[in-house]
Amino acid sequence: MARKEVVVIGSHVQGMFMRVPRFPVADETILADDFREALDGGKGSHQAIACARLGLPTHFIGSLGRDRLGKIGASWMADSGVDLAYLKWNDHVSTGCGFVMVNPLGIPAIVTAMGANMELQPADIDRALSLIRQAKVVLITFEIPVETALYASRKAKEAGATTILTPGPAAPVSRHAFDCVDLLIPNLGEAQTLLGRMPTESPDLKELVDELRAHSGAAQVIVTLGERGSFVFSEGRGKRIPAFKVKVQDTPGAGDAFTAGVSFGICHGATLTDAARFGSLTAAHAVSFKESLPGFGTLMEIHKFAQANELEIPEALQEQILSAESMPRRPEALSNAGDSPDHLPH
């Protein structure tokens, strides 16, 4: 039987947003405005929602506090079609929370308390092995204990899934730590941090990726470069993929939309280069919206967005995109995201 499932193993962090005229420095207080508990979560829940909206059968393995913010996050995922059968609820640790300051350019600065996310243990991965064995792609994030993330990558690899790791927040890693990672997707700063380097804005990308692969053991690498696009290294060759030029509203969540787009491409047999091109399209859609969740588009929305902005859809994926009328539409329940639906697991 052909594998179809996507399993996301990662975090949920409720975003608390405010807009600032500039970021404060040490020992400084500045006045902000537009505070809100935004439609924004952590890397794991973001990627799960973004994949599900693209029509991929998606499951989430993570840990939430049994509190108001945890129920909100679970409802966002459930409303988007994410299966939560292996969601872990905690009575003694609160749901992760991040305070996000956004400057006038739409660039965020973030402080996060990971909370219940740090309670996800290898035993929780073992409990979900029957699900992981059905997965075509397993997405893993680093907003959970690193040992759990690496254990998950090993178990997913043993199960025959394609393993994708987004290593943020990054820290220097030991040699061959990512031997079980098929695709590593760091941003430029994370790629350098993984090697123990101080981040710079313009390193030699080919040299950086060669060193990162040799050191970490990851089979393939995509380095995301924000408005400059991405650098894809696969089968011994590197290729720069430009970003689509669109009017930017907010950038939080763009990287997760990109990863979901790449996952969609991989699930439908596209080359890694074409998958990254589609990731650029899903990321362009994401940054065109304020807050993260509204920017995670369905296939129909991505198709219409590409048409309206005269953006190219990779030829290898056009058949799937053009059949978007039959794909799931955006859920309308997010305006009531604070409610705790009766169907959520407890």
Is 27 a known active-site residue? no
Q: Which of 83, 250, 256, 274 does the annotation list as catalytic? A: 256
CA–CA separation, 79 and 294 (whole Å): 13
Q: Is 220 helix (H, G, I), strand (E, B) or coil?
A: strand
Q: Which residue has the tokens 């362009």?
A: 284
CB 243 within 8 A of CB 277: no
CB 63 within 8 A of CB 30: no
- Quote the DSSP letter at residue 161: P
Bridge partners of 240? Answer: 231
**For strand 230-234 and strand 183-184, is the pairing parallel, antiparallel, or unpaired?**
unpaired
- Judge residue 161's burial from the number of C-beta atoms within 10 Å of its C-beta, 0-12 exposed, 13-18 middle, 19 or more buried: buried
Amino acid at 23: F
Give helix 43-53 / helix 68-79 axis angle, nearest 10°: 20
Structure tokens at 281: 């399209």
DSSP assignment of 273-334: HHHHHHHHHHHHHHHTSSSSGGG---HHHHHHHHHHTT-PPPGGGHHHHHTGGGSPPPPSGG
Structure tokens at 293: 């969740």
Q: Is 232 helix (H, G, I), strand (E, B) or coil?
A: strand
CA–CA separation, 164 and 173 (whole Å): 16
State the catalytic residues.
Answer: 256
